[in-house]
């Protein structure tokens, strides 16, 4: 992304940030019906509630495909699974077996009972919530930091600290391909059609490979600094990237061009999530709030206040309910002790 383009994004973001200024009355008149409807909904559902999950910081949260369960992975080497019971999370089980931090996890795209965890102990583990046991530990070559499951459910991709991405058959649990990259690999993801594989890298680029051939298709200069995270919207129209330059960029999937930027955060963007209808985008960083934007206009829709940096956000797959986890401390007993909680935003004010 050129400095001129970045400045343009900044100016666009500044205009959006002026909601609430002296001009807010005229700006508010231009808000879309969707934004107004969601703002009204969130005014009646502004509660964020904490749920104890781990003994240390939570690195990753993710919903099962049907939204009945939420999983979390932690520095305490475990994963936890909660059942969503109306407007609260009820802890179902804690999953032990890793010998190092669980840095990321994800669910099977269509099977609501299976999820997989990536750990620094050089393994990934596939779990079944019906048995509460590890179906298969899979040894990998390095300390794993990111993981994703292909949309067709057949392959798991895992990336490690040495910038190696391994593709594992989800039925045989054997490696079927491995790619060593010459750049810092951050987050990885298939597109919704399962025929391309995307990587964000330390040079600010998005690298796109064909799948399953894994041949380079394109490298996009997306940001002037480290491109950290990537997410595809469930409708298949856009994907978003977050960067160390504090910008979120929205990209057209078919044209592979940047259509919009969001610039309300001041710190590197760590995590992104699209809502179930693809109309809202949540982004978070070390800023003490989560930005919720309308995708089609970039307008600020809501701000979720946090008391510390946010590591991970995940919209529910069927309703406007946002799960997230922060770098919270348990000040009641020891200000240095990590709280290890997961949180939900979007709960009724009277719940």
Q: Which two tokens stand for residue 225?
A: 């600094």
- Residue 132, pLDDT score: 87
Peptide bond into 243 cis (omega under 30): no
Q: CA 158 to CA 273: how far, in whole Å?
A: 20
* Cβ atoms of residues 71 and 81 within 8 Å: yes
Q: Distances in Å between the alpha carbon of 344 and those of 71, 92, 121, 330?
A: 13, 17, 29, 18
Q: Is 298 helix (H, G, I), strand (E, B) or coil?
A: coil
| Residue from 153, 159, 82 nearest 119 by CA | 159
* Cβ atoms of residues 340 and 333 within 8 Å: no
Q: Which two tokens stand for residue 330?
A: 């348990």
- Residue 6, pLDDT score: 44
- Give the total residue count for the chain: 351
Percent helix, strand, coil in the chain (nearest 5)?
10, 50, 40
Counting other chains too, the contacts that 223-227 makes at CB distance below 8 Å and 24 or more residues apart are 223/1, 223/247, 223/249, 224/1, 224/3, 224/6, 226/184, 226/186, 226/201, 226/202, 226/268, 227/186, 227/200, 227/201, 227/202, 227/203
**Looking at residue 42, what DSSP letter applies?**
H
- Residue 11, pLDDT score: 37
Q: Distances in Å between the alpha carbon of 212 and those of 62, 92, 102, 107?
A: 25, 36, 27, 21
Which residues make Cβ contacts (< 8 Å) with residue 159, sequence separation at least 6?
Answer: 144, 145, 146, 147, 165, 166, 185, 188, 199
Question: Is 130 buried (19+), middle (13-18) or exposed (0-12) by CB count in 10 A?
Answer: exposed
- Residue 86, pLDDT score: 87
Count of Cβ atoms closer than 10 Å to residue 336 Cβ: 8
Sign (positive or negative) of CA dihedral 126, 131, 133, 137: negative
Average pLDDT per consecutive 10 residues, the chain (351 residues; last block may be shorter)? 42 36 42 94 94 95 98 97 94 97 98 98 98 94 97 98 98 96 97 98 97 97 96 97 98 97 97 98 97 96 95 97 88 60 92 64
- Residue 14, pLDDT score: 37
H/E element, 167 = strand 164-169
Count of Cβ atoms closer than 10 Å to residue 213 Cβ: 11
- Residue 24, pLDDT score: 35
- Residue 317, pLDDT score: 98
Q: Which two tokens stand for residue 97?
A: 């077996």
| Residue written as token pair 């391994």 | 166
* Cβ atoms of residues 280 and 38 within 8 Å: yes
- Residue 339, pLDDT score: 81
* Cβ atoms of residues 141 and 166 within 8 Å: yes
Express each pLDDT in 224-262 by its tens digit: 999 999 999 999 999 999 999 999 999 999 999 999 999
H/E element, 26 = helix 24-29
């Amino acid at each position: 992304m050129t400095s001129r383009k970045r400045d343009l994004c900044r100016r666009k973001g500044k205009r959006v940030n002026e909601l609430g200024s002296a001009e807010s009355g005229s700006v508010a008149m231009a808000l879309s019906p969707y934004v107004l409807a969601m703002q009204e909904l969130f005014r009646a559902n502004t509660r964020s509630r904490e749920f104890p999950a781990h003994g240390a910081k939570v690195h990753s949260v993710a919903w099962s495909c049907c939204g009945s369960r939420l999983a979390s992975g932690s520095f305490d080497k475990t994963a936890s699974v909660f059942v969503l019971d109306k407007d609260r999370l009820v802890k179902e089980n804690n999953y032990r077996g890793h010998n190092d931090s669980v840095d990321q996890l994800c669910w099977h795209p269509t099977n609501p009972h299976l999820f997989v965890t990536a750990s620094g102990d050089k393994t990934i583990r596939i779990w079944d919530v019906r048995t509460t046991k590890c179906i298969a530990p899979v040894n990998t070559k390095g300390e794993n930091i990111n993981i994703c499951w292909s949309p067709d459910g057949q392959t798991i991709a895992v990336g490690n600290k040495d910038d190696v991405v391994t593709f594992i058959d989800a039925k045989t649990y054997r490696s079927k391909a491995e790619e060593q990259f010459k750049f810092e690999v951050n987050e990885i993801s298939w597109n919704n059609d399962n025929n391309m594989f995307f990587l964000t890298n330390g040079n600010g680029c998005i690298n796109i490979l064909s799948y399953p051939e894994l041949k380079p298709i394109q490298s996009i200069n997306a940001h002037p600094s480290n491109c950290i995270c990537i997410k595809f919207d469930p409708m298949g129209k856009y994907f978003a990237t977050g960067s160390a330059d504090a910008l979120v960029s929205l990209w057209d999937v078919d044209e592979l061009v940047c259509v919009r930027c969001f610039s309300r955060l001041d710190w590197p963007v760590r995590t992104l999530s699209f809502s179930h209808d693809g109309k809202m985008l949540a982004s978070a960083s070390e800023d003490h709030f989560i930005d919720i934007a309308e995708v089609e206009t970039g307008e600020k829709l809501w701000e979720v206040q946090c008391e510390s940096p946010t590591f991970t956000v995940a919209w529910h797959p069927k309703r406007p309910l946002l799960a997230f986890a922060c770098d919270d401390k348990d000040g009641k007993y020891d200000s240095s002790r990590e709280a290890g909680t997961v949180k939900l935003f979007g709960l009724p004010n009277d719940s």
